[in-house]
Amino acid sequence: MLVGRPARRRPGQHERRAARLASTVAGLGPTFIKLAQLLSARADIFPEPYLSAIGTLQDQVPPVPTEAIREVLAEELGAPPEERFESFEERPVAAASLGQVHRAVAHGRQVAVKVLRPGVEEVVALDLEISFRVLYWLNILFPNHHVQALTNVVREFSHRVREEMDFRSEAANIERFQRYFRDDPRVRAPDVLEEFTRRRVLVMEYCAGTKVDRLEEQFRSGALDFRDVMETLTGLYLRMMMVDGFLHADPHPGNILVQADGTIVILDWGMVLDVPRWTRESILHMALAVEREDLDAIISGMYRLGMISPEVSRGEIREAAIEILRILERVRTSNRDRIEEIVHAIFDTFYTWPLILPQELVYFFRTSVLLEGIGVRYDRNFDGLELVRGVIGRYRKQILKETAREPVAVARDLLGEAQAALRTLMELLHRAEREELRVRMHPRDIQSQERFLSLQARRLLLSVFATATAVISAILFIAIRSWWLLGAGLTVSLLMFLVVLFIPTHLLENPLRHARALRPGDFR
């Protein structure tokens, strides 16, 4: 999967291996569960069955003893919970890998007290150290696109999880969401009590509601309208992605509540994703290119979004663009396909070439699959594509307004790019005239030459050592008549010759080049 050449798999083999991987990760503990949830957004590293398997892992662990939680509260708030809250329930209402939540009463209102698990920072640091050491050797022994991409994901995770363990960051995320949606009464997040907010403690309004996947009775009785709830949810995530550029990155049914009046409450803001304006512009331009069936514009959009790996040839890029166009054409025209099937096809395409699917799109795709799954749960004939098309139609003007720039700014950028291109062209002509023009080979081509020369040099050196060992053993045998010494020397010599003949080529690469690129200390 990560190393070696692609091999033909028997039907169901990926699925069985993915299930075993998910089971193994679940047993490794909370750090690796959260890392797996992040990896489930990387279609360029794992085939789709693995993404689905690890994406379903739930961040749930046994609760911490109450006495340990009370110690953290006393350290952070300067007093035991009885003195800071009017009441405090010792039994937690939720327990996850990084923290657990208790109900309490503060200033006469129900609140949720989120406390960082004692010792979790040391556990995460140790798990990350182990992960980086394993990746260090993987990059030496199996340098390829998938291992390098996995290394980048773990780097990103190390930064994210440290930020998530500082609850002040989550409080800031909640306040930012509330600022964006202050004029929309249909969606909300819990209010934060700033006087209690600390690095390891977060106190929020306790929001009553029903998890979004447990609304059968409300829909059946007519207390809630199924269509309204689904349209509100879809519009919420579409707006976060394409209008505000601020995406809730941990969407699952446990984090989405629906209150009695139909208001949507989003919980757990520890993981968010910023979507820059230029990314939203590029996504919009690519969507318009798909609508026009403009293959060149699609390829240009792929470059702008950073989807192209350096080792992918122009011909492969064109083939991938044709496949993406075919898949997305299904989104525009199909009345039968489910979002999940289309997303799986996109993930398979990006894994095959390999291309890099931007994490913003992956999170949005996964949210779309989640919402479709919720809809199908209540209505077998639910059409997620039809719902998404309708919501996009309603938000179209707002998306265009937020992503489109002023004509003067566009003209200024185009003029600047034209001037830069002209200067570059003139410089190239001057260098060619002075015979100073140099052509650089792609690193992949240089690496292949290095690999060949390094292989031959090492084989030659190992052969010399093997021969020398055999000769020295024979000389010593003649001098001291030691059969044991002769046998040991000839055995070592034979082993060296076997290494020369049978060791895999990639193990004979120059390891120092990769060691310079990645060291465990680089991640601290």
Cα(93)–Cα(327) distance, integer angstroms: 43
**The two structure tokens encoding residue 245:** 């550029």
Cα 518 to the center of its chain, rounded Å: 20
Q: H/E/C letters for each residue in 26-57?
A: HHHCHHHHHHHHHHCCCCCCCCHHHHHHHHCC
The pLDDT of residue 475 is 80
Cα(5)–Cα(395) distance, integer angstroms: 45
Burial label for 506, CB within 10 Å (0-12, 13-18, 19+), is middle
**The two structure tokens encoding residue 147:** 């291992």
Cα(48)–Cα(54) distance, integer angstroms: 10
The pLDDT of residue 515 is 35
The pLDDT of residue 237 is 92
- What residue has token string 């209540």? 378
The pLDDT of residue 221 is 94
SS3 of 438, please? coil
| CB contact burial 173-194 (16+ within 10 A = b; e otherwise) | bbebbeeebeeeebbbbbebbe
**The two structure tokens encoding residue 34:** 């959260």
Q: Find, among 286, 272, 263, the residue nearest to 241 by Cα.
A: 272
| Dihedrals phi, psi of 308, to nearest 5 degrees | -95, 120
SS3 of 185, please? coil
Instruction: Report the predicted TM-score, pTM, of the whole model to 2 decimal places.
Output: 0.72
SS3 of 258, please? strand
The pLDDT of residue 522 is 42
Low-confidence ranges of the chain (pLDDT < 70): 1-12, 41, 43-44, 55-60, 310-311, 331-337, 354, 401-417, 420, 431, 434-455, 500-524
Distances (CA, A) of 428 to 320, 414, 417, 420, 424: 32, 21, 16, 12, 6
Bridge partners of residue 54, in order along the sequence: none
Say if residues 485 and 477 touch (Cβ distance below 8 Å): yes
The pLDDT of residue 172 is 96
The pLDDT of residue 437 is 61
The pLDDT of residue 201 is 97
Query: Which residues have CB under 8 Å from 401's CB, separation 6+?
Result: none
Say if residues 160 and 249 touch (Cβ distance below 8 Å): no
The pLDDT of residue 207 is 94
Say if residues 27 and 62 touch (Cβ distance below 8 Å): no
The pLDDT of residue 492 is 84
Cα(336)–Cα(326) distance, integer angstroms: 15
Q: Find, among 466, 454, 464, the residue nearest to 508 by Cα.
A: 454
**Helix (H) or strand (E) run with residue 248 in it:** strand 246-248
User: In this structure, how many other beta carbons lie within 10 angstroms of the beta carbon of residue 455?
Assistant: 17
- What residue has token string 């029903």? 210
The pLDDT of residue 108 is 93
Say if residues 43 and 11 touch (Cβ distance below 8 Å): no
The domains of the chain are located at 13-61+134-164, 209-404, 412-439, 444-523
- What residue has token string 């600022």? 179
The pLDDT of residue 404 is 57
Cα(421)–Cα(505) distance, integer angstroms: 43
SS3 of 39, please? helix
Ranges of beta strands (E only) in 107-209 are 109-116, 187-188, 201-205
